[in-house]
Amino acid sequence: MRLQGGLVDELLAIGEFSARSGLSAKVLRSYAAAGLLVPAAVDPWTGYRYYAPGQLPEAGLILLLRRAVRRHAGRTRFSETNRRIGPDSVRRDQIQ
């Protein structure tokens, strides 16, 4: 079977690509809609997405960056909380 964009035999269905890349099918669909990680082929009748094995490194980089952003965001929230509720913000009469 041939789809626009390549042979299905050479491509990975979205579920298989999801399992190999670590990105959920839902995330892959949203990235495709945003143009970030576009499927190599889409079945014109069903809309089913297929990805090329060569797209796995790109997906891995996206996952790595996503995790880094999450870690950084967590640290930023922690730092902001510490500034607001730091040791200087507690008065002696509040300590039991």
The answer as to whether 33 is a domain residue is yes
Range of the domain at 50: 2-86
Q: Report the CATH number at residue 6.
A: 1.10.1660.10
Is 65 inside a domain boundary? yes
Q: Render pLDDT for 39-64 as a digit per residue (tens, 0 to 9).
A: 999 999 999 999 999 999 999 999 99
In a domain, 92, yes or no: no
Residue 40 falls within a domain, yes or no? yes
Is 27 inside any structural domain? yes
Q: Is residue 51 in a domain?
A: yes
pTM: 0.66
Which of residues 6 and 39 earns the better pLDDT score? 39
Domain count, the chain: 1
**How many other CB atoms are there within 10 angstroms of residue 20's CB atom?**
15
